[in-house]
C-alpha cells in the first residue's frame, strides 16, 4: 500500500535532518509542508534546507513559487497529492516534513474551498489593522460576522483578518464555506512528530535567529521590500525587520523580537499537533526511523 510518513513538530526541533535520514533509508523524496519555504525569494528567514540537504534527497514544494503568487492550504492540498502520486509511480513510500499544521491537515483530510481575496482587499484590511490594532479587528468581525466571531480565536489577528477578507470579497460569512467533511484518502498515513525539551528548543531558536542575521537576513528583507504587503511576508522574521527599517525598533530589539515571536510560534505549533492524537512523538527524533521501519516492511 502506498504510504506517507509525516514528520511534524515545532520550528528548530530538527525535522529536516530526520526527514532526510528517513527518505534516504526508503530511497524516496521529501514533500515540504512549510508555508514559506516554497517561496524562491526568501531563504534565510524561512530556514530552508541547505543546498547540501536539498541535494541529499529530492524535495518538492521548496523554491517552487514566487512571493507574488497566492499560495494557501487549498492549493497545497492539490499540489501535495500530485507530488505524492509522482513519487509513488516508482516508490511505495514518500516523506512529508514541515510545521504548517493546516497544510498537513489539508493533505490528510481535505480542506474546504474558501475563496481567496484580491490583494487590494487583503492590503486594506492589513493597513487598517496596523493602524487601529486588534480591538478594531475584533469589533469589525463581531459586528459584521457574528456567526464566526462566536467561535473564533479572537486573539488571533490572522484568523480575524481572513474572516474579513472572505466577508468583504463574497458578502458571506467564512462559516458558510466550512463543511467540516473529512476526505478518506486511499493511502496509508503514518503521523510522527519531533519535539525537544523547552530549554533546548529555545536555545536552538536563538542560535538559528543569530545565524540568520550572520547569513544576511537584513539584506534579504531589503531585497523584498517592494513586496512587503504580500501575504508571504506577513510573518515572523520579516515583520520585525520591516519595523526596524521603518525606525520603529532598534536592530537589537528587532532580533530579540524575532526570537520571542519564533518561540511563541513554536508553542502554537506544539498545541496544534498535540490536538491530533494520531501523532506519535519522538524527543529529538530518537527512535523515529526504527518506528516507521517496523510499520513498513520493505
Residues belonging to the binding site are 9-16
Q: Is 237 exposed, middle or buried (0-12, 13-18, 19+ CB in 10 A)?
A: buried
Residues annotated as binding site for ATP?
Answer: 9-16
Specify which residues 195 forms β-bridges with: 283
All cell numbers assigned to 76: 497545497
Alpha-carbon span 97 to 64, nearest angstrom: 16
CA 288 to chain centre: 22
What gap in Å lies between CA 102 and CA 98, rounded to an integer? 11
Known binding-site positions for substrate: 11-16
Q: 28: how many CB neighbours lie within 10 A of its CB?
A: 22
Answer yes or no: are the C-beta atoms of 17 and 50 closer than 8 Å: no
Q: Which three cell numbers stand for residue 109?
A: 483530510
**CA dist list (Å): 152 to 38, 63, 118, 149:** 28, 33, 23, 5
The candidate with the shortest Cα–Cα distance to 201, out of 251, 274, 265, 277, is 265
If residue 283 lies in a helix (H) or strand (E), which one and from where to where? strand 280-283
Determine the number of helices (DSSP H) and then strands (DSSP E) in the chain. 12, 6
> In this structure, what C-alpha cell is assigned to residue 217?
537576513
Dist. CA 4–CA 92, nearest whole Å: 9
Amino acid at each position: 500500500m502506498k504510504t506517507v510518513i509525516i514528520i511534524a513538530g515545532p520550528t528548530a526541533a530538527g525535522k529536516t535532518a530526520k526527514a532526510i535520514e528517513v527518505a534516504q533509508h526508503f530511497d524516496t523524496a521529501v514533500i515540504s509542508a512549510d508555508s514559506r519555504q516554497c517561496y524562491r525569494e526568501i531563504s534565510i528567514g524561512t530556514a530552508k534546507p541547505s543546498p547540501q540537504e536539498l541535494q541529499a534527497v529530492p524535495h518538492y514544494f521548496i523554491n517552487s513559487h514566487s512571493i507574488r503568487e497566492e499560495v494557501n492550504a487549498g492549493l497545497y492540498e492539490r499540489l501535495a497529492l500530485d507530488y505524492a502520486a509522482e513519487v509513488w509511480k516508482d516508490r511505495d513510500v514518500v516523506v512529508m516534513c514541515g510545521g504548517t499544521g493546516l497544510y498537513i491537515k489539508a493533505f490528510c483530510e481535505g480542506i474546504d474551498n474558501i475563496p481567496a481575496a484580491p490583494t487590494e482587499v487583503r492590503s486594506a484590511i492589513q493597513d487598517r489593522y496596523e493602524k487601529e490594532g486588534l480591538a478594531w479587528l475584533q469589533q469589525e468581525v463581531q459586528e459584521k460576522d457574528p456567526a464566526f466571531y462566536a467561535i473564533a480565536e479572537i486573539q488571533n489577528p490572522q484568523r480575524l483578518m481572513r474572516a474579513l477578507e472572505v466577508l468583504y470579497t463574497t458578502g458571506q460569512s467564512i462559516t458558510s464555506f466550512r463543511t467540516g467533511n473529512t476526505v478518506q484518502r486511499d493511502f496509508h498515513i503514518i503521523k510522527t512528530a519531533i519535539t525537544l525539551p523547552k530549554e533546548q528548543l529555545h536555545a536552538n531558536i536563538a542560535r538559528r535567529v543569530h545565524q540568520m542575521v550572520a547569513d544576511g537576513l537584513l539584506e534579504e528583507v531589503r531585497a523584498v521590500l517592494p513586496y512587503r504587503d504580500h501575504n508571504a511576508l506577513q510573518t515572523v522574521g520579516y515583520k520585525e525587520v520591516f519595523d526596524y527599517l521603518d525606525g520603529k525598533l532598534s536592530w537589537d530589539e528587532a532580533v530579540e523580537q524575532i526570537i520571542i515571536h519564533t518561540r511563541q510560534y513554536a508553542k502554537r505549533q506544539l498545541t496544534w499537533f498535540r490536538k491530533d492524537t494520531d501523532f506519535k512523538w519522538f524527543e529529538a527524533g530518537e527512535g523515529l526511523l526504527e518506528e516507521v521501519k517496523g510499520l513498513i516492511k520493505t
